[in-house]
Structure 1
Amino acid sequence: MDSTNQNVASHDMEAGTNPHPWQFPTTAPRQATFTTVHVVLKFLDNTNLFALNFAHLCHAILQTAGLAKLERNNTFIKLRASQNLLAIDTYCHTAVQKIISMQEVLINGKYYGVRSYVANDPSNARGVIHRIFTDVPDETLRAAFHIPGRKILAARRLGNTNTILITVEGRNLPRHATFFYVVYRIFPQQPQSKQCHPCHAIGHRPMFAQTKMSTYDVRTAPSSFPQT
């Protein structure tokens, strides 16, 4: 540093100012995405997930999905014991398709059939379509439906019924959809709160009702319970 710069620097220090003030970085640090995608994963045979080793379960899902290092670091798996499902939150959009495409998971030498779908965003509309043949596989539902001018985000069957739950981009729900050249009416979704009769709790099915002592199958429980 020459004498001129030294004099300027010493003058700034005496005046209480910083010759090189801190500035905000021009580029943001590397991140996967700013939004979170919620994926719901269920086992087809209603396996009690609470009885499985959670660490082995998470490792099997990440291994089967084939997630990269960045995708693994930005994906979080949570167990919903009362609903008997897995809630997967990821900040990588590339990991969503890998998780949804899984058909089975290998855990402790046993294969389990799984089905996953993207949870609904409040900014999107959901509706139900009835009288769809049960022999149509879930993999072809989304491609078979068509709504002019609207984007279909997801389409899945509700259990083993002939009712399809469809998710459409946008807040307004369209009235009709085309399925194999046949026009069907779309009805607004009206989810009902289900009450488990053994434990008298609302929000989960009575297949695996939890108590303070253990988790049991209500099909082997007594047929009558004391009134509350």
Structure 2
Amino acid sequence: MIFGCLFYAYFILVRLCVPVFRPETKQPFSKRTMVLAVFHSILPGIMLLLLCFFAFLHCWLNLFGELLRFADRMFYKDWWNSTSFANYYRTWNVVVHDWLYQYGYRDFLWLSKRKFRTAAMLSVFIVSAVVHEYALAMGFGFFYPVMFFLFAIFGVVFNFAMNDKRESPVFNVVMWASLFLGQGVQVCLYSQEWYAQIHCPRTENSFWEMVTPRSGPAATRDDAAFL
């Protein structure tokens, strides 16, 4: 099933992402092209999210749980029924959440004598954002902190705005709509940067050259601002 998920993810990228983000001619950056690219990326983005969830949190962890005879298989809960992002973060990946709670949140409270609960929560989000962005940077071969900003900024805002007091099913729809849009933004921006790195390769190995984006309005060279 893991290899099936990898093959299906490859199929999604080839059929739904590559034709959009590898155009034959370079296109200048504009708001219209960005919005269209994001909406093109929503469907493959959410499909990749569900594939990653099933492949890693269900298949991969259960595989090693079976091999190591690990009895507690509570790797995730019913995150798809969440009406708040606070509950979504707790149920999406129970393994990581429990580790961050025990060794990040609680230790921070212990060091601060339980005076800075908000700061402790923010520190957990920052650590999670850095680790996720580091993994993507190592995989892609370039630094483009889309995941970091989504986790460290929007993730924190949604965590406080959609807390556990939100129990209406309407907020479940809001959560799913946010996931759809967020995945579309991630797939869109990372795909743009991937092809921008190919068309505009680095001229040197300096730090600023490595962290300078090649796509979008932040690109520093005229030939780099394309989709």
Taking structure 1 as the reference length, the TM-score comes to: 0.21
Q: Which has the higher contact order (CA 8 A, sep 6+)?
A: 2
| Structure in which a larger fraction of residues adopt helix | 2
- Structure number with greater Rg is 1
Structure 2 length-normalised TM? 0.21
Q: Hey, which of these two has a bigger chunk of strand by percent?
A: 1
